Structure 1
Amino acid sequence: MDREKGRRQATFVVEHLDPELGKWSAREYGCIARECHAAGARFLLTSVPESLQLPEELASLKEELTVERRSVEEIFAEIKDRVCLLDPAATAELSPADGDNFDVFLFGGILGDDPPRDRTSELRKKGYTGRSLGPKQMSTDTAVRVTRMVTLDRIPLDKIPYVDNPELRFSRYETTELPYRYVADKDGKPIMPEGMFELIKADADRGLDDVL
């Protein structure tokens, strides 16, 4: 129970929908785990295959991250009505009141596909109540961050500072544009997981090498 707000501790869940876990996802999941822990919330990574060995950067997060081989459907079978699926296709948008309506906020990984592949459809079939975060695609860590800001900090979706399609500059001549929405920091720059800028640059460099 959250003593300050007189309600249950919020739980944020990413149902991992891939047989592998890439470097981008590892960075995002680590960021989600640390931010949720700092906010007094839980973070669960569910449906993780037995064969999947977590990278050290996630395996070391003993307090911040709970890894489950079971699915979210099995874990929260008894409180299905308290589970909110963050679904781009939902007709209702997430609101601060949903912080009281739900205890568990569920995300289908990986959200950040471009173009979107509707990975959430696999969870939608299970009948969870859905809420949208608006019309723009977000990275998984951004989607969780926005949901936490709305439901825990009680900030309406349209009051959160965003930056859309940010351009990252690696050098005087080298830039790349990310086709997603991010939460903006106090300087108007996108909030991203630690090390993500370097990872994106390395991917861009590899792409350039393929061209050359």
Structure 2
Amino acid sequence: MAPKTYIVEHLDEELGPWSELEYLAIATESHEAGAKFLLSSLPSAFKVPDALNAVPSFVAENRGVEELYAAGKSRVCLLDPSASKDLAPEDGDNFDVFLFGGILGDDPPRDRTSELRKKGFEGRRLGPKQMTTDTAVRVTRLVVEGKTPLLEIPYVDDPDLQFNEHESTSMPFRYVKDKDGKPIMPKGMVDLIGKDADKAIDDLF
């Protein structure tokens, strides 16, 4: 099986603390799996964090996916909530590149996934529940590289994070469970959310 590439299109000129932790988790896990993680369509003023640049298989790219894969569109799978088919293990044989079109930081938000769908990238769903970006990449890797069907991946939905006796918050996302039944989250994420418990989650991106 050819090495896989996971791409997130990030059109914002800045990178919030939440997204930075997610991207670092994606880059690290992808590198450990022998895959590449690429951020595409980066504005020229975008500054890549040092920790992300230090991951050997991470690539920062100013060009968009349409330009990068103009001659190889059929090998690119768009993870699309509106797709008619769910991602399946055999998609690992059909696609080399997995594209995540959710754009962070746009206000009002642009439906980048629909734009990419119109460009002709074939789509697959990851199920009905919203996932964080790192979870979406993790689930995709488990399916196409680990050959685990979507419905057999252990999930936890809307977990509560307890910071102390009086403070907790509910996370409105689906996560992959670890061996102890807890949601897998990027290193440092729980601390970040705890420090900013009074902020809306959207403000942390």
Question: Is the TM-score greater than 0.5?
Answer: yes
| CA offset digits 1:111-158 (Å, max 9, x no partner) | 799xx9744223222111000000000000000000000000000000
Q: 1:102 and 2:95 equivalent?
A: yes
The one of 28, 33, 39 equivalent to 1:34 is: 28
The equivalent residue for 1:79 is 72
Q: Check 1:100–1:19 CA distance in 2 against 1; reply closer, same or farther (3 A cut).
A: same
Q: 1:23 and 2:17 equivalent?
A: yes
The equivalent residue for 2:40 is 46
Gap regions ≥5 residues in structure 2: 201-205
Cα pair 2:12 2:105 within 8 Å, conserved: no
Cα pair 2:7 2:40 within 8 Å, conserved: yes
Cα pair 1:14 1:44 within 8 Å, conserved: yes
Cα pair 1:111 1:140 within 8 Å, conserved: no
Aligned-pair identity in percent equals 62
The one of 1, 5, 21 equivalent to 1:11 is: 5
Q: 1:136 and 2:163 equivalent?
A: no
What residue identity is the alignment partner of 2:121? Y
| CA offset digits 1:82-128 (Å, max 9, x no partner) | 10000011110000000001111000234799xx9744223222111
| Number of equivalenced pairs | 198
What residue identity is the alignment partner of 1:33? A
The equivalent residue for 1:3 is none
State the 1:34 CA deviation.
0.5
Deviates more, 1:173-182 or 1:68-77: 68-77
RMSD of aligned residue pairs (Cα, Å): 1.9
Gap regions ≥5 residues in structure 1: 1-6, 208-212
State the 1:17 CA deviation.
3.1
Secondary structure, in 3 states, of the residue corresponding to 2:92? helix
Q: How do 1:96-175 residues align onto structure 2 when only pairs under 5 Å count?
A: 96-110=89-103, 118-175=111-168
